[in-house]
Amino acid sequence: MTDRRAFLIVMDSVGCGGAPDAADFGDEGANTLGHITAVCAAGRADIGRKGPLHVPNLMRLGLGRAMALSVPDTNLPEGGAVSGRWGAATEVSRGKDTPSGHWELAGVPVPWDWHYFPETVPAFPDDVVAEVCRLAGTEGILGNCHASGVPIITAHCEEHLRSGWPICYTSADSVFQIAAHEEAFGLDRLLKLCADLAPYLHARKVGRVIARPFIGTCGDFKRTANRRDYAIDPPSPTLLDWVQDAGRATHAVGKIGDIFSQRGVGTLHKGKSDSDLFEHLLALQGSAEPGSLTFANFVEFDSLYGHPRDVAGYARALEWFDVQVGAFLAAMRPGDLAIFTADHGNDPTWRGTEHTRERVPVLCAGVGTGSLGLVSFVDVAASVATHLGVENQGPGRAFL
């Protein structure tokens, strides 16, 4: 058993632009980190923070160099000497969604085309609506369109509370989302509805059914931390399975368990916020076993700031995260590998409210200094496997 440990940490949606196929997705020019940096430098993101983007710990790992590697003329945060290894990764799966990005980082590109619901009203076919009604025990659904979560709850809250009908909506991702009041509709009822509906939609290659519970009154509601994603199973064993099958421990922090349908997950560590999740991550530095993999997702960059197009909020989240990174790096042990990366972009300066097709930074601590160059998402899994001394069962090539 090796004493080496690996920590794969996904900063959800923290892209760095430059995807060669971005135009195919309508995202040519999108650059989450570059545009946030530019807005901060111009003094236009001074809500709850001030001035240029300040992420010194990520910069020391090579964030600025990864950004410049992806888009040579990009705006860079302030930074100095680099003590990590850096690169930028390109995705091949034909999606800019959470499962595609995470699965590919774990060594498994998506081999099929996802099913997307059309941007029509209604968006869902009659048989899907009928199945939701049958499972929910209602005579109809609300929404039935492309929408963002807060606006559609605002639009249908009163009718939802009056009729008991679930609020159903989708997005540019391959998802079916159901919002319902935790008390009036019932949290357990909502979760069961989503769990029972998921196999029906997975058979159509819809990637996720997502429960979106909320509480409060229609004029003052709040979405809760009891969101649950019911994702389709990965098509083949992932990095989590490779490590677990080798007899090693695996730890999933945040929504990793949901994204991988609990496959390959030994211990699940959940929380109500990214702050809670980072406490788990820091605790695992002290308790994670030799030879283990810790796979973490920090979702609030995406969910709280990317989709609502909140540049200042996104910048605050990056600066908060950077402070936590400093504490994490200080506690690393000899033989530890930490990789900070992302699963897609979500440029808060971009049009619309959806993810953006981008390359992502790859920042490595514990393995020296230098450029990794342009790599593939699957190379991340190959590199973790190599570090831990387990078989790389995917198409990637180790960059370490």
Nearest partner of 182 among 141, 236, 228, 140, judged by Cα: 228
Report CA torsion sign: 265, 392, 400, 78: negative
- pLDDT tens column, 37-76: 999 999 999 999 999 999 999 999 999 999 999 999 888 9
Could you say which DSSP state residue 184 is in?
A: I
Phi, psi for 169 (deg, rounded to 5): -155, 170
Q: Which residues contact 258 (CB under 8 A, 6 or more apart)?
A: 228, 229, 230, 231
What is the predicted pLDDT for the residue at 80?
Answer: 83
Query: What pLDDT does residue 59 have?
Result: 97
**Three-state SS at 177:** strand
pLDDT at 232 over 70: yes
Q: How confident is the model at residue 330 (pLDDT cuts 50, 70, 90)?
A: very high
CA distance 323 to 84: 17
Here the tokens at position 83 are: 């003590």
pTM to 2 decimal places: 0.91
> From the annotation, which residues make up the binding site?
12, 302, 307, 343-344, 355
Break the chain into its structural domains and give their ranges. 5-111+235-388, 126-231
Q: Backbone phi, then psi, for 167, in 5-degree steps? A: -95, 115
Are 301 and 277 in contact, with CB atoms under 8 Å apart? no
Banded pLDDT at 2 (limits 50, 70, 90): confident
Among the four given CATH numbers 3.40.720.10, 3.90.220.20, 2.40.128.260, 3.90.1150.10, the one describing domain 5-111+235-388: 3.40.720.10
Provide DSSP, 10-23.
EETT---S--TTGG
pLDDT, the chain, mean: 96
Q: Which percentage of the chain shows pLDDT scores above 90? A: 96
Summarised one tens digit per residue, pLDDT across range 271-299 is 999 999 999 999 999 999 999 999 999 99
First-to-last alpha carbon distance for the chain, in angstroms, is: 20
Cα-based torsion angle of the residue sequence 121, 123, 125, 128 in order, rounded to the nearest 10 degrees: -130
Q: Is the peptide bond before 122 cis (omega within 30 degrees of 0)?
A: yes
Residues making up the binding site for Mn(2+)? 12, 302, 307, 343-344, 355
CATH number of 126-231: 3.30.70.1250
